Amino acid sequence: MEYSEKVMEHFAHPHNVGKIEDADGIGEVGNAKCGDIMKMYIKVNAGIITDVKFNTYGCASAIATSSMATDMIKGKPITEALRLTNQAVVEALDGLPAVKIHCSVLAEEAIKAAVKDYYDKNGIAYDPALFKEDCCHYDHHHAE
């Protein structure tokens, strides 16, 4: 399986690893199929994600996409972070092997889960459609 240099770099030296003790939002997601688990922590100030950390137990792809995704949302408004798609993360990593695309979905889901937790804790109203459980947002045809 061929991984891009960027994937290998983020896997070997992932950015933003760890936990934020006084996180404003925490999201934990898992993919039972491949046993990957990801926990995402965010700090929010005036609607901006000022800090983000993650812990991932999973494959190189899951770790690399988490690392890249946290880079991509750090310092950004929450609204922008919610629009981050796994496709954008995969493109930023110069692609992933097709069988590993599903791993990249975890990062997107973890960000959403952390933001939802932040909204819930602070009583911030949001559109539930933003967080609907979407099991099918990657192309199943690649899974064969």
User: Known catalytic residues?
Assistant: 34, 103
* Amino acid residing at 59: C
Backbone angles phi, psi at 84, to 5 degrees: -65, 125
Torsion over CA of 106, 108, 109 and 110, rounded to 10 degrees?
80
CB of 84 within 8 A of CB of 108? yes
Q: How far is CA 92 from CA 18, 95, 96, 104, in A?
A: 22, 7, 10, 12
